[in-house]
Amino acid sequence: MGNVLMKIFTGNANPALAQEICGHMSVPLGSATVTRFPDGETFVQINENIRGCDVYVVQPTCNPANDHIMELLIMIDAMRRASAKRITAVIPFFGYARQDRKDRPRVPITAKLVANLLTAAGAHRVLTVDLHAQQIQGFFDIPVDHLFAAPAFYNYIHDKEYLANATVFSPDIGGMKAAAAMADLLELPLGFVAKRRTSATTVEAINLVGEVEGRDIILVDDMTETAGTLNAAGRLLKQNRAKSVRALVSHCMLGEVGYKRLEEGVIDELITTNSTPVSPNGLPITVLSIAQLLGDAILRIHSNESVTSLFKVKGY
């Protein structure tokens, strides 16, 4: 934005990622107070002058989602009232993305509601990574830059020995597009697991399509919380004599149930990003950084350059 000063701030959702982004960009992290009153209400104060600045707020809306969304909305409102020239919400993980349609009577479309709230608060644009459903971009009446974690995954696994004997699998039919893109990227065959969800936390894998026996399987999914889908798919794959099962998951929000499932050892390695805070807890979890990806995107947005062209990996 010409000679406009750029500043980056963070809420409490993932300050480590914000610090890493700033380190990559060689800019200091902006000073803001984001705390709670005794009754639980969120209090925000921007501790430096941002009048006329191009500001970025790094805040994935991960667990506890409602707290982190409110922090983000209140920070945006504070910045708007402090006369920031442009406010970009940097949301590495966009919560409520699974509530993107009416699949039952009398249910909300919460992803659209959150989009409306961000716009009403005063955000001018959104930068996000691997949305659960691409059409969520259309829920916003402001520009959305949608990045993919695929370059980070590709850089990590493209020279691994197991790729010589690997098949990329989607753990369900809904993830076929992302799995197909990764299979194309790695020039590997593609398969999928048919599944049936029996409750919010349990999944039953029921059928396989693709080359499995003696193969090193790479499952591709956008997010995991309970590891139910991954574990069910991994178990069925190993019952069908898969040599190993790894998972590439963009957003990892594992809770107690998820860690317990990974302890079973069905998944040989879970490869994820730091879009949300992830603790390996002694398990085979590899966390890749997307700080450079987001930092480069912020620099390009600031200088009004194309973001899309930056993230091409062999035509992804």
State both tokens at 260: 């317990």
State how far the Cα of 157 lies from the Cα of 285, in Å rounded to an integer: 14
Question: How many angstroms separate the CA atoms of 72 and 40, rounded?
Answer: 15
H or E stretch at 16: helix 15-25
Beta carbons of 283 and 272 less than 8 angstroms apart: no
Distance CA 49, CA 140 (A): 28
Please confirm whether the linkage preceding 64 is cis (ω < 30° from 0): yes
According to DSSP, residue 158 is labeled: T
Listed in sequence order, the DSSP H helices in 58-166 are 65-81, 110-121, 150-157
Closest to 180 in 3D by CA, of 165, 190, 193: 190
What does DSSP assign to residue 43? Answer: E
55 — phi, psi (to 5°)?
-110, 150
Report the distance separating Cα 248 and Cα 76, nearest Å.
32
DSSP annotation of 30: P
Q: Which of 195, 238, 243, 314 is catalytic?
A: 195
Look up residue 3 and give its two tokens.
Answer: 């000679």
Alpha-carbon distance of 149 to 36, in angstroms, equals 33
Does residue 195 have an active-site annotation? Answer: yes
* Beta strand pairing call for 144-147 and 54-58: unpaired
- The residues annotated as belonging to the active site are 195
